């Protein structure tokens, strides 16, 4: 079955450590996205990528980094520079972006807790 996988579902880290969240899709989608969700805040865009080896900052990119070396994969690194990293992280993909509007398919999310 086609879809988006995120791992792990729950992640615990100590303050000051970098952590990488995995996101893989087998939908053959060009565009991929990372969102952060906090209670009562909706979904806020961290980074997005429309093609391999290219990505753009979203609205809250500070303290995060990404790579897009393969079409299927879009890992997110939460660095120690992110001041409040505890949140629910959602990865999504769509056929493409820019000029047209396609629905986004979301992965199950990773709940990150940093203490």
Partner 1 sequence: QQPVQSPQAVILREGEDAVINCSSSKALYSVHWYRQKHGEAPVFLMILLKGGEQKGHEKISASFNEKKQQSSLYLTASQLSYSGTYFCGLIQGGSEKLVFGKGTKLTVNP
User: Per rule CB under 8 A, is residue 48 in the interface with partner 1?
Assistant: yes
Residue range at the interface with partner 1 (CB under 8 A); choices 12-20, 60-68, 73-81, 97-105: 97-105
Question: Residue 48 has which token pair?
Answer: 């997005």
Candidates 11, 13, 44, 65: give the one binding partner 1 (CB under 8 A). Answer: 44
What does residue 81 show for φ and ψ, rounded to 5 degrees? -80, -15
* Least distance in angstroms from the C-beta of 8 to partner 1: 15
Contact indicator for 82, 64 with CB cutoff of 8 Å: yes
Question: Binders of partner 1: how many residues, by CB under 8 A?
Answer: 24
Contact indicator for 46, 35 with CB cutoff of 8 Å: yes
């Amino acid at each position: 079955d086609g879809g988006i996988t995120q791992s792990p579902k729950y992640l615990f880290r100590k303050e000051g450590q970098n952590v990488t969240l995995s996101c893989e899709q087998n939908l053959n989608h060009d565009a991929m996205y990372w969102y952060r969700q906090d209670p009562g805040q909706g979904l806020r865009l961290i980074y997005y990528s429309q093609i391999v080896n290219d990505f753009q900052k979203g609205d809250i990119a500070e303290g995060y980094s990404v790579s897009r070396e393969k079409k299927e994969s879009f890992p997110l690194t939460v660095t120690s520079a992110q001041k409040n990293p505890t949140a629910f992280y959602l990865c999504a993909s769509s056929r493409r972006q820019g000029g047209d509007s396609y629905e986004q398919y979301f992965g199950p999310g990773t709940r990150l807790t940093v203490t």
